[in-house]
Amino acid sequence: MAAPPATLSARNRPKTGLFAPSAQGGGPKVQPIVDLKLKPFDFNQALARAGLGPDGQRLARSGPAAEVGGGFRTAMADALKGVSQAQNESTRLQREVALDNPTVSLEETMVAMNKAQLGFQATVQVRNRLVSAYTDIMNMQV
């Protein structure tokens, strides 16, 4: 009769992840496997990205972004353009792989296909939410 296969206990399981026990042994000392460097947080840069000045007031903008309602419209148009570009790039890479182009890897093509698929699924979800919100607003009694 054959012996049952040995299961991996916590002791003989391979060490993976960001931390592994130290080689010195003798305790739960942990040393990092990957050296992670954190940059200091720049509050003024974060405010600038949010469109705020150092005093917390909204910065005045000029051009098309300053129009009322142009922010959402511009963001939505940019997002749709990005999804379209990802799909076009995915299609181009698929064509190149099918033609046995040695400069295009299958891995690169698969990543591009997954990016395009995720972008499209996110776009469909946003559209569904917008239609649902529109329907809820239209069904409100005034």
Q: In whole angstroms, what is the distance from residue 82 CA to residue 93 CA? A: 16
C-alpha separations of 125 from 26, 66, 110, 134, 136 in Å: 53, 28, 23, 14, 16
Domain coordinates in residue numbering, the chain: 67-138
**Phi-psi domain of 27 (left: phi exceeds 0; alpha: psi -120 through 50; beta: other):** left
- The per-residue pLDDT string of the chain (142 residues; one tens digit each, 9 = 90 and over) reads 555 555 555 555 555 544 555 455 555 565 555 555 667 777 777 777 778 777 777 877 655 544 555 688 888 899 999 999 999 999 999 999 999 999 999 999 999 999 999 999 999 999 999 999 999 999 998 8
